[in-house]
Amino acid sequence: MIGNMQLNDEGKLKHFLSIEGLDKCLLTEILDTAESFAGMSAQQVKKVPLLRGKTIVNLFFENSTRTRTTFELAATRLSADVINMNIATSATSKGESLLDTIRNLEAMFVDMFVVRHALSGAAHFIAQQTASHISVINAGDGQHAHPTQAMLDMFTIRQLKPNFSNLRVAIIGDILHSRVARSEIQALNTLGVAEVRVIAPKTLLPAHVESLGVSVSHNLNEGLKDIDVVMMLRLQKERMTSALLPSESEYFKCFGLTEEKLKIAKPDAIVMHPGPINRGVEIDSKVADGPQSVILKQVSNGIAVRMAIMAMAMQTLPSSPGRPVTQAPSLAITGGL
């Protein structure tokens, strides 16, 4: 259902709300398109005119630094005009409803909403309610989805381990509250990895987690065996106060990723984290800053992947499906910059 809603009549991306319902071909197209943008950051002129004249509103109902900044950079590199709205400190605190906020912004003739919201389904709701010419990109809704994060992680994995079908991926930590985990699991399964394994205590796993297409382990030492990609999740402090965990130190002892534990995984395993990291809680600094960590690579890749998704959703790419988009950087020149 979500899948259908995300595509236009021609089967092209219109909204990007969830990985669910998108097929391998489309996910690969996103990764290929991102590939063509990836080199741009190193160039002198970091802009293409693909979204010139378009207005993008970053609609953040929940705080975020990293995601909002990379979305903003991605949009400006596509030459769009960007407005940042932090609604947590704005209209809704004056009692304006979510829908009223959307209607008001619509009336200002915007072309795209990038939405972050604390409740599951918020991006979906906005996409349903908003005018038909507007695209909605989900930048994280409640515990539901964070699909651009999942795609930038897929991009990072593919750079280092191009063949998904051999990979065993472990996701470690607070799966229950994690929109990142849900999107990662869907993306990894759609791209056809050999195994997705979630490792966490029962209190941090949703009921019926295996229905998401994962195997489950409650023990890091056992769970890390044969793993190619280790994805750590951030542990929110409030999990201790709501009786989900006894203490940070006990969590670190059981599920914290140390150099020693990492040795259980394959020797060439990579370590990922969506950030911001809690050093000494879910991950040891030596691992986070170590040779196997790709955490900062994830951050830089975020810009290219978000550029690809925004350009695809606005239908401004001169590509046909399945074709690698190698022309995008040259557009910068022919576009007359």
Partner 1 sequence: MTRICIAKGRIIDPANDMDRVGSIYIENGKIVSVTDEQAGFKADKVIDASDQIVCPGFIDLSTRLRDMGHSRKATFKSEVIAAASAGVTTLCLQPDTVPVIDTPAVAELIKDLAQIAGYRQIYPIGALTHKLDGVELSSMLSLKNAGCIAVGNANQPVKNLLILRRAMEYAASHDLLLMFRPNDFWLSNNGCAHEGVVATRYGLPSIPEAAETIALAQCLELAELTGCRVHFGQLSSKRSVIQIHQAKKYGLRVSADVAIHQLHLTENDMQPFDSAYHVLPPLRTEADKQYLRQGLAEGTLNSICSDHQPHDLDAKLGAFPETEPGISALETLLPLMLRLVKQHAITLEQGIGCLSANPARVLRLESGALTPGFAADVCIFDPELDWQVNAENWKSQGVNTPFWGHTLKGRVTHTLQAGQIIYSL
In the complex, minimum distance from the CB of residue 200 to partner 1, in angstroms, rounded to a whole number:
14
Catalytic residue among 12, 47, 66, 279: 66
In the complex, minimum distance from the CB of residue 186 to partner 1, in angstroms, rounded to a whole number:
9
In the complex, minimum distance from the CB of residue 144 to partner 1, in angstroms, rounded to a whole number:
4
Give which of 74, 67, 81 is closest to 41, Cα–Cα: 74
Q: Which is nearer to partner 1, 129 or 316 (CB)?
A: 129
Give yes or no: 67 in active site.
yes
For 34, the 3-state DSSP assignment is helix
Question: Which positions touch partner 1 (CB under 8 A)?
Answer: 1-2, 20, 97-99, 117, 119-122, 124-125, 129, 141-145, 179, 182, 206-209, 211-212
Alpha-carbon distance 66 to 53, whole Å? 25
Alpha-carbon distance 223 to 81, whole Å? 46
Q: Which is nearer to partner 1, 61 or 252 (CB)?
A: 61
Alpha-carbon distance 140 to 112, whole Å? 15
Catalytic residue among 28, 33, 67, 70: 67
In the complex, minimum distance from the CB of residue 328 to partner 1, in angstroms, rounded to a whole number:
33
In the complex, minimum distance from the CB of residue 12 to partner 1, in angstroms, rounded to a whole number:
21
Task: With beta carbons less than 8 A apart as the criterion, state whether 197 and 168 touch.
Answer: yes
If you compute the radius of gyration of the chain from its CA atoms, what whole number of angstroms results? Answer: 20
Catalytic residue among 65, 94, 208, 241: 94
Give yes or no: 66 in active site.
yes
For residue 276, is it left (φ>0), alpha (ψ between -120 and 50) or beta?
beta
Give yes or no: 94 in active site.
yes
Q: Which two tokens stand for residue 311?
A: 């350009």
CA angle 132, 133, 135 (to 5 degrees): 95
Catalytic residue among 14, 54, 68, 116: 116
Q: Which is nearer to partner 1, 62 or 284 (CB)?
A: 62
Alpha-carbon distance 305 to 223, whole Å? 30
Give yes or no: 116 in active site.
yes
Q: Which is nearer to partner 1, 30 or 122 (CB)?
A: 122
Alpha-carbon distance 247 to 240, whole Å? 6
Catalytic residue among 54, 146, 261, 306: 146
Q: Which is nearer to partner 1, 122 or 304 (CB)?
A: 122
Task: With beta carbons less than 8 A apart as the criterion, state whether 304 and 31 touch.
Answer: no
Active site residues: 66-67, 94, 116, 146
